[in-house]
Amino acid sequence: MTLQETGTGTGHARWTFRLRVSATTEAQLMSEWGKCRWIWNEAVAKSRAVHQRNKATGEKNTCGPARLDKMLTEARTRNAWLRDGSSVPQQQIIRDFGKSREVRLIHPAHTTMDCAHCGARAKHALPLGMRTYTCTACGVSSPRDKNSARVMLVRAGLNPADVEGVRHGCA
Ligand SMILES: [Zn+2]
């Protein structure tokens, strides 16, 4: 806000400022929000299409942040009204979507067979009674559940070290 010397009191200036918010800024905010909502819906549709395609073809395409980011760039190129909006909240929507979707869409298979440390897959599933996962490839041992949780985090594109605050190399 720029306070201008108008000869009127501060109270009046504030009142003028408030008027500007409701008339212009609020309209802009609603407009930005409308664009963001459109992007979110596009991301939902895109993600759904990718997963249905995977189901039908057995392919393992992902709809991760990079792909969604590309989708946003293309959408902004195609649509002038979308390009008019600020790219910052639009990219934030993509990031939020990527996080929320990917975590839910992780394939749960093999989380007890994969090593969270080196990514190697054991030949056999760990028997339920065995509480410790020991990787035959890199030799790292970690509690079974912890290893599984970390495998899922890695699949979601998250760094388990960031999330859990654990030391690198399996506790
Ligand atoms: Zn390993």
- Specify if 2 maps to a domain: no
CA of 60 to the centre of ligand 1 (A): 23
By the 8 A CB rule, do 98 and 110 touch? no
Which tens digits make up the pLDDT trace of 25-58? 667 767 777 888 888 888 888 888 888 888 889 8
Domain boundary among 70, 105, 140: 105
Domain boundary among 105, 135, 153: 105
**In terms of pLDDT, which residue wins out, 76 or 16?**
76
- The answer to whether residues 41 and 76 belong to one domain is yes
Domain boundary among 75, 105, 135: 105
Q: For residue 111, what pLDDT band results from cuts at 50, 70 and 90? A: confident
CA of 101 to the centre of ligand 1 (A): 27
- The answer to whether residues 86 and 28 belong to one domain is yes
Q: Model's pTM, two decimal places?
A: 0.45
Q: In which domain, by residue range, is 86 found?
A: 16-105
Number of domains in the chain: 2
**In terms of pLDDT, which residue wins out, 164 or 66?**
66
- The answer to whether residues 91 and 129 belong to one domain is no
**Nearby residues of 48 by Cβ (< 8 Å), 6 or more positions away:** none
- The answer to whether residues 22 and 97 belong to one domain is yes
- The answer to whether residues 20 and 66 belong to one domain is yes
By the 8 A CB rule, do 116 and 154 touch? yes
CA of 166 to the centre of ligand 1 (A): 16
Ion ligand 1 contact residues with beta carbon within 5 A: 115, 117-118, 120, 135, 137-138
Distance CA 29, CA 2 (A): 20
